[in-house]
Amino acid sequence: MHFCVVVFVCSFLRGVYDFAIATLPPVAANLVTMPSLVYFPLIGNAIVFTYNLPSSVLNGQVLGLRGAVLCRIVRGNITMWNDPAIVRDNPAMSLPAIPILNMLQTQGALGPNLVFTTYCPKVDPPFATVIPISQTPTFPSTVHAKILPNVYAMVSGVADTPYTLGYSSMSNVVAQGMPLGNFINANGEAVAVSANSMALTMLELATDGYSQGQMGFDLTNPTTPGAYPMMTMSSCGWTPPPRLRRAPTSCSC
């Protein structure tokens, strides 16, 4: 198994593997390199936020954030745990006047970054002027953050450091035993990640068919009540015979 998505997909295009499953669909450049590439969406996965707060702060509660609040935290507009926008939706917590440390990653698993930066401008319009849509975003130097080399280090960083926050795919967060935060919707209701909330998202945004050449479903910001706001969909690809390949000569992460 490759833990660097860039190397894995590149190796697939070079013909090292016959089939590949990745957290993102092929990009336009892949289709130019390999015009006969056959691929299709396979598995839906939620993009979640996780956090590390002491039990004396949580008071037995699950942290809930509105999407716009989460985006404002990541772009550096909200910096303290006791910010009124956080306190409003977590009244039973004892949130302290301590800075929020963002754990972020710009390489490795690129799907969460692409989904997050696609979602945020929809709920927090100024986000796009600070952090454009990207698999490898550049985060402002004003953000109180630690940049980690990959998603595994990022989730571990949250686990090891109190008063931190990060986002990743649900599978990565669950694998490391970290808590999953709830999104607060426009009605003030907490939406937890679940099979049901993800199914509602996919039912609304991923049931109109899928054609080759499509760059993937946008599974963000659904309007269905109870639907989870951020999801990605892994893609499965089949590599054509060698005579059809015009692949990269080398791969690096």
DSSP characters over 31-83:
HHH-TT-EEEEEEEEEEEEEEE--HHHHTTPPPEEEHHHHHHHHTTS--BTT-
Q: Residue-wise over 76-109: b if at least 16 C-beta within 10 A, else e?
A: bbbebbebeebeebbeebebeeeebbbbbbbbbb
Residue 188 lies in a domain: yes
Count: domains in the chain? 1
- Tally of residues, the chain: 253
Decide which of 101 and 235 is more confident.
Answer: 101
Query: Which pTM was predicted?
Result: 0.82
Res 253 pLDDT > 50: no
Interval 61-76 mean pLDDT: 97
Residue 110 lies in a domain: yes
Residue 115 lies in a domain: yes
* Per-residue confidence (pLDDT) for residue 229, from 0 to 100: 95
Residue 157 lies in a domain: yes
Confidence category of residue 4, pLDDT binned at 50, 70, 90? very low
Q: What is the CATH number of the domain that holds 73?
A: 3.40.190.10
Residue 155 lies in a domain: yes
Residue 67 lies in a domain: yes
Q: Which domain holds residue 96?
A: 46-196
Residue 175 lies in a domain: yes
Residue 231 lies in a domain: no
